[in-house]
Amino acid sequence: MTPIEGLPSLHLPARDIPIPSSVSAEARAILAAPRQAAAAYPPPDDVPAWKAMIAAQDAAVAAMVDSRPVDAAVTVEDAEFDGVPVYVVTPPGATEGRVYLELHGGALILGGGLICRGMAARTAARIGAQVWSVDYRMPPDHPYPTPLKDCVAVYRALLKDHRPEQIVIGGGSAGGNLAAALLLRARDEGLPLPAALVLNTPEVDLTESGDSFQTNLGLDPVLQRSLMPVNLLYAAGHDLTDPYLSPLFGDFTKGFPPTMLTTGTRDLFLSNTVRLHRALRAAGIRADLHVMEAAGHGGFLGMAPEDTELDREIRRFVDAHWAD
């Protein structure tokens, strides 16, 4: 965040923040877990070092994803549209024709491949609808605009045999960036808009100008530092304030679908989320905001009753907006 010239900073003394009694025991355990110091980001141009960091972090997440059971009745088809790999996941009882187009998270560099596939299966079970999850290409080999183009290509393919009102687009974190950017770009290209959009703790401002990038630093158990080196790797020289990179700065008066946004009071992306909500509302867009008490980025990792309650909220929103 750029300090404002001539305005003083606010000095906060050192503090001990107790684990709150206002959340479930499961959530408290997440908040109380020891935090591991992250390895330093590689230098911008050291591609092998970035790839090694990405591989190590993906391996850790893959182990976590694999450890959670998936409903055996969920089927996964490995598809490809316009050269982009897509996992098409169908849970039992899914309404024919409805598709939840998911853009996975992972800071725009992580979470592809088997992680994307495994997470999509869980989303499908939670949403109760067919999920198409896009395994978009990523940096360092494929920086902006390739990831966004991959997402737009799949949306375009999806529109060939689906009515837009049968489609909901969703994404968390970096996936929320791509979901919102995809909407802006699809709109600008004259494509029809989907029935609705779901953005979970979305990374919609790669400039990190929001207040919570400062105020929640050290409080969020998941995002423990600025992601700026990754944002610059993704942008590859493009302007971070471009709405296709930071959709928070888009013009929503030109049209945008009904949007649900979720975050937590300790989320480093709290400001991202509430600012986008206000921008949408100021433009007259239907937008519903949900903030979880004491939750950092991504809620409580799906392990607390608070997550389950929010999942029900997402399902209600999606079901209310889908056409048959």
Please give the DSSP secondary-structure letter assigned to residue 144.
T
Task: Tell me the C-alpha distance between 2 and 178, whole Å.
Answer: 25
User: What part of residues 297-316 is at the interface with a second copy (CB under 8 A)?
Assistant: 306, 309, 313
Q: Which is nearer to a second copy, 80 or 211 (CB)?
A: 211
Distances (CA, A) of 185 to 10, 60, 144, 168, 313: 39, 33, 13, 16, 27
Q: Which is nearer to a second copy, 35 or 68 (CB)?
A: 35
**The residue to which tokens 């092998």 are assigned:** 48
> Residues 6 or more apart from 198 whose CB is under 8 A from it?
168, 169, 170, 171, 179, 259, 260, 314, 317, 318
Q: Which is nearer to a second copy, 27 or 119 (CB)?
A: 27
Among 120, 169, 294, 314, binds a second copy (CB under 8 A): 294
Helix (H, G, I), strand (E, B) or coil at 302: coil
Asked if 214 touches a second copy (CB under 8 A), the answer is: yes
Q: Which is nearer to a second copy, 78 or 211 (CB)?
A: 211
Minimum gap (Å) between residue 278 Cβ and a second copy: 7
* Token pair recorded at residue 113: 């491949």
Asked if 280 touches a second copy (CB under 8 A), the answer is: no
Among 133, 173, 212, 259, binds a second copy (CB under 8 A): 212
Among 51, 137, 149, 290, binds a second copy (CB under 8 A): 290
Task: Tell me the C-alpha distance between 123 and 116, whole Å.
Answer: 10
- Count of residues that bind a second copy according to CB under 8 A: 54
Quick note: the x/- pattern for a second copy over 32-51, rule CB under 8 A, is x-------------------
Task: Tell me the C-alpha distance between 27 and 39, whole Å.
Answer: 26
